Amino acid sequence: MSNGPLTGLRVVEFQGIGPGPHVAMLLADLGAEVVRIERPGHQPMNAVVERARNRAAVDLKSEDGQAFVKKALASADVLIEGFRPGVMERLGLGPDVVLEANPRIVYARMTGWGQDGPLAQAAGHDLNYIAITGALDSIGAKGELPIPPQNLVGDFGGGSMYCAFGILAALYERQTSGKGQVVDAAIVDGVTSLMSFFYGQPHSALRTTERGAGLLGGAAHFYRCYECADGKEITVGAIEPQFYAELLARADAPKELAEGQLNPANWDDYTEKLAALFKTKTQAEWTALLEGTDACYAPVVPLDEAKDHPHMKARGLFVERDGRSHTAPAPRFDRTPGVIRDSAQDGEEVVARWAQGS
Per residue in 164-190, pLDDT (tens digit) is: 999 999 999 999 999 999 999 999 999
**Residue-range domains of the chain with CATH:** 10-194+328-355 (3.40.50.10540), 223-303 (3.30.1540.10)
The 3-state secondary structure of 113-140 reads CCCCCCCCCCCCCHHHHHHCCCCHHHCC
- In sequence order, which residues have a C-beta less than 8 Å from that of residue 89 and are 6 or more positions away? none
Asked if pLDDT for residue 343 goes beyond 70, the answer is no
- Amino acid at position 191, single letter: V
Quote the CA–CA distance of 71 and 355 in Å, as a whole number.
7
Residue 234, CA distances (Å) to 144, 290, 321 in order: 22, 10, 31
If pLDDT is split at 50, 70 and 90, which confidence band does 1 have?
low
pLDDT at res. 239: 97
What's the pLDDT tens digit per position in 67-104?
999 999 999 999 999 999 999 999 999 999 999 999 99
Asked if pLDDT for residue 327 goes beyond 80, the answer is: yes
CA distance 96 to 356: 25
The span from the CA of 218 to the CA of 67, in Å, is 55
322 pLDDT higher than 90: no
- Residue 206: pLDDT band (50, 70, 90) is confident
- Active site positions, annotated: 125, 155
Do residues 237 and 223 lie in contact, with contact meaning Cβ atoms separated by under 8 Å?
A: yes
Burial of 311 (0-12, 13-18, 19+ CB in 10 A): exposed
